[in-house]
Structure formats: structure tokens, C-alpha cells
Amino acid sequence: MFKNPWLKSLWELMYPAPEFCPFCHTGIVPEGLPACGACTARISPSMHRLSLARYQGFAVGVYDDYLQYLLHQIKYLNQYQPAVALGKIMALAAREQPELGSVDYFLPVPLHHQRLQQRGFNQADALAAGMNQVWPHRVCSAVRIKPTEFQSGLSPSERVKNLRRAFMLTNPAAVRGKRVLIIDDIFTTGATFYSLADLVHSHRGEPLGLFLTYRRS
């Protein structure tokens, strides 16, 4: 159509190619939004306040149906971009929540390096990267010093015991007096969250939680 590359560039600037939805790959993404209208409706993001024994926590959706399907795709097919898009959705919902207005840091829940090698990327990091695109924050990091591969067969109290001292903050002094938003894909028993939140608390930070989904018990 264009012999002149300059004209082609100008045309593309005026009429950009439609962006396909990172979830269904067929819907068109409206400008400035993370996903097509149909997928956004299926995800139906809204803020659910979790009733936690200590600290405040929120989830953007329930772990069932479409979000469960998307998380499986991301995990087993190693899909980074859909995870980033889900992070954008989390941020769009979370930044309207008054309790989260003065957060200082994002803290994605780390994976143990063995798992990271198997997986290629950490889902919580990808969610935080997506969040940062629409709601920029400094990120503080932690490392998982114990592999916690065998959580699923354990009772809640055994999980807590198993996760005790499972994490280390990369820069513990940075969280002092700061509000730290811990980010993860699923809230189940809260054992992982509490382990990391207690660590932040022990360094005089104020931990909060934001999860893409929670499991209804």
C-alpha cells in the first residue's frame, strides 16, 4: 500500500493496528484498558475485603471460573503478558481503595529460586509489574530462603510452621515506618501472607495485602 516508509509510519500513527486482548486473543482492547470488554466483564473486578486476624487485605476477584482458568494458563503455559494485564486490572481496582491510598512500596511474594528456574518467571512479580504501569510505586523485594513445595498437603497450623522464617527482606531498613503492599495471585489460608507480613512488621513496617483472587472457604 505504501512505497514510502515515512508515509507508512504516519498512517500507523494515525490509525494504529487494533490491540488484541491478552486473555482471549480475539477481542479488541479499548485504548487505555488492559483487556477486551467481554473478558473484563467475565473477570468483573471489584474489591473484596478479607477478614484477617491481623493486618488489612483485599482481593480483586474470587478464585473460580474465569480467573482460575487464566491463572492456570499463566502458570502452566508460562504466559507473562496475561499476568501483567491482570496486574493492571488489580491496580485499577486497588488505587480507588482509600486504605491503600498511601502505600509506599509494592512487595511481590517471592518464589524459591528452584521454582523460579522451573517456571521462568514469578507470577507475583509480573502482577506487580502490571500494577506499576498504571499505579507506579517503588518495589521492595524479599527472597524465599526455604523451598515450600509441600504446602498443599498440610493443615493451616502446619503451613504456618513450615513457612516460619521462610523469607528475608533484601533491604530490611527500607520498610521502617513504611506502608508495604504485599502482592500475590491467590489468598488461600494466608500462611504465606502472614509469614511475609510478620517479617515486614518485625522491621517496623506496616504490611497490607493485595491478592488477585481469594478462595471462598
Site residues (vs Zn ion, CB under 5 A) = 21, 23-24, 27, 36, 39
Beta strands in 78-141 (DSSP E): 105-108, 138-139
Q: Which is nearer to Zn ion, 23 or 106 (CB)?
A: 23
CA dist., res. 80 & res. 122, Å (int): 9
Report the C-alpha gap between 82 and 76 in whole angstroms: 13
Phi and psi based region of residue 188 (left: phi greater than 0; alpha: psi -120 to 50; beta: remaining): alpha
- Closer to Zn ion by Cβ: residue 21 or 197: 21
The least distance separating Zn ion from the CB of residue 28, rounded to whole angstroms, comes to 9
Q: Which is nearer to Zn ion, 26 or 202 (CB)?
A: 26
Q: How far is the CB of 41 from Zn ion (least distance, A)?
A: 9
Instruction: Find how far residue 91's CA is from the centre of its chain.
Output: 9
Residue 51 CB contacts under 8 Å (≥ 6 apart), including other chains: none
User: How far apart, in whole angstroms, are the C-alpha atoms of residue 28 and residue 122?
Assistant: 27
Q: How far is the CB of 29 from Zn ion (least distance, A)?
A: 8
Nearer to Zn ion, 82 or 108 (CB): 82
Closest to Zn ion by CB, 70 or 175: 70
- Shortest distance in whole angstroms from residue 212 CB to Zn ion: 17
Count of C-beta atoms within a 10 Å radius of residue 87: 29
CB of 104 to Zn ion, least distance (A): 33
- Find the largest Cα–Cα distance for the chain: 69
